C-alpha cells in the first residue's frame, strides 16, 4: 500500500486493490529513521558495513589509516566534528572552533570579524562578506542576497531546492512524500501493528477525499456565483436595451388618441367655417 507517490496518488494493491489518483495533495513528509549500521567482519581482521564501506568495531567510517572520517571522506573526531592535522576541531571553512562551535584563535581567544580596506569583512568563521552583501566561502561558494548559493562550477542552488545549471537549465527540486507504514507485501490485519497501520492509511485516504471534495465544492461555489452574476448582468443589459429600443405602448396610444381628437375637431371647425358664408349669401339673396 502506498500513498503520496510522485504522481500524487494513493494505490492499494492488497485485499482486492483499488487506485485513487490526484487525491492526497497534503500528506506530510516523514523523515526516515537513520539506518542502523551493521558491523560485518571482512575475514581479514577488519569490518565493513552493509554497504561495503570500511568501518571500525564501533561501526564508524574509517580511512585506510584507521582514522575516523565522515561520508565525504573528511577527518572527524568521535563526535563527528571536523578536525585539522593536529586533531583540533574546526568548522567547514577550516577555522578553529571551541566545544560550542564558536570560532577561536590559536591562543584560544574568540576570533573577531575584521573590516578590510576594500570594504569587505573577513568574518570570524572564515567567510568573507563582500561589498555587495554576498558572502564568499574559501571553497569558492558565494551566497547571494536571496539565499541562493553559486558554486565554482557555475551551478546555482536556490532556497526552494531547485538548481540552475551553467547552461541555464533549471532542475526542479525532488518532491518528498510521506512514507507508508504498510507495503503491498505486508497488507494485513492479523496483528495490532498492521491493523493500526491500515486504519491510519484509510484515515489518510478519507482525509484526501474530504480535501478534494472541499476543493471541488469551493470551485463549484465560485462557478455558481459567476453564473448568477452573469445572469444579473444579462438581465440588466436586456432591460436597458428594451428601454432604448422598445416603444411605450401606453404613451403611443395616448398620443394617437390625442391626434385623432385634434383631427376630428379641426374637421368640425372647418365645416362650420364653410357654412357661415353660405348663410350670409342666403340672407343677401332673400
Residues 6+ apart with CB under 8 A from 70: 61, 76, 80, 82
pLDDT number for residue 115? 92
pLDDT number for residue 44? 84
pLDDT number for residue 194? 66
Nearest to 139 by CA among 190, 192, 94, 195: 94
Q: Taking the chain, what is the end-to-end CA distance rounded to the nearest angstrom?
A: 131
Using CA atoms, how far apart are residues 239 and 281, in angstroms rounded to an integer? 64
User: Is residue 148 within 8 Å of 157, Cβ to Cβ?
Assistant: yes
Conformation bin of residue 148: beta by default, left when phi > 0, alpha when psi is -120 to 50: beta
pLDDT tens for the chain, 286 residues: list them: 344 433 344 444 444 444 444 444 444 555 667 778 888 888 888 888 888 889 998 889 999 888 999 988 999 998 999 999 999 999 999 899 998 889 999 888 999 999 999 999 999 999 999 999 999 999 999 999 999 999 999 999 999 888 999 998 888 886 655 554 444 455 566 667 667 777 877 888 888 888 889 988 998 999 999 999 999 999 999 888 887 777 677 888 888 999 999 988 888 888 777 777 777 777 776 5
pLDDT number for residue 130? 94
Query: What per-residue string of b and e applies to 8-22 under the rule 16 or more CB within 10 Å gives b?
Result: bbbbbeeeeeeeeee
Amino acid at each position: 500500500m502506498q500513498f503520496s507517490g510522485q504522481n500524487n496518488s494513493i494505490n492499494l494493491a492488497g485485499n482486492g486493490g483499488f487506485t485513487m489518483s490526484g487525491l492526497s495533495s497534503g500528506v506530510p513528509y516523514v523523515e526516515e529513521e537513520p539506518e542502523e549500521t551493521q558491523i560485518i567482519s571482512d575475514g581479514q581482521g577488519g569490518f565493513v558495513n552493509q554497504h561495503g564501506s570500511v568501518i571500525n568495531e564501533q561501526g564508524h567510517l574509517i580511512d585506510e589509516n584507521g582514522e575516523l572520517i565522515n561520508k565525504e571522506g573528511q577527518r572527524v573526531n568521535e563526535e563527528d566534528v571536523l578536525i585539522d592535522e593536529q586533531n583540533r576541531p574546526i568548522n567547514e571553512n577550516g577555522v578553529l572552533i571551541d566545544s560550542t562551535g564558536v570560532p577561536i584563535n590559536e591562543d584560544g581567544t574568540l576570533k573577531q570579524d575584521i573590516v578590510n580596506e576594500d570594504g569587505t569583512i573577513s568574518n570570524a568563521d572564515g567567510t568573507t562578506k563582500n561589498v555587495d552583501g554576498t558572502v564568499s566561502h574559501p571553497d569558492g561558494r558565494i551566497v547571494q542576497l536571496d539565499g541562493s548559493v553559486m558554486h565554482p562550477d557555475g551551478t546555482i542552488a536556490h532556497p526552494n531546492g531547485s538548481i540552475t545549471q551553467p547552461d541555464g537549465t533549471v532542475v526542479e527540486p525532488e518532491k518528498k512524500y510521506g512514507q507508508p507504514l504498510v507495503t503491498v507485501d505486508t497488507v494485513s490485519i492479523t496483528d495490532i501493528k498492521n491493523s493500526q497501520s491500515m486504519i491510519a492509511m484509510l484515515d489518510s485516504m478519507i482525509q484526501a477525499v474530504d480535501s478534494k471534495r472541499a476543493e471541488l465544492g469551493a470551485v463549484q461555489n465560485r462557478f455558481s456565483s459567476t453564473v448568477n452574476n452573469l445572469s444579473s448582468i444579462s438581465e440588466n443589459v436586456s432591460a436597458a436595451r428594451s428601454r432604448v429600443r422598445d416603444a411605450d405602448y401606453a404613451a403611443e396610444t395616448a398620443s394617437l388618441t390625442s391626434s385623432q381628437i385634434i383631427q376630428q375637431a379641426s374637421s368640425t371647425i372647418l365645416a362650420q367655417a364653410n357654412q357661415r358664408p353660405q348663410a350670409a349669401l342666403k340672407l343677401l339673396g332673400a
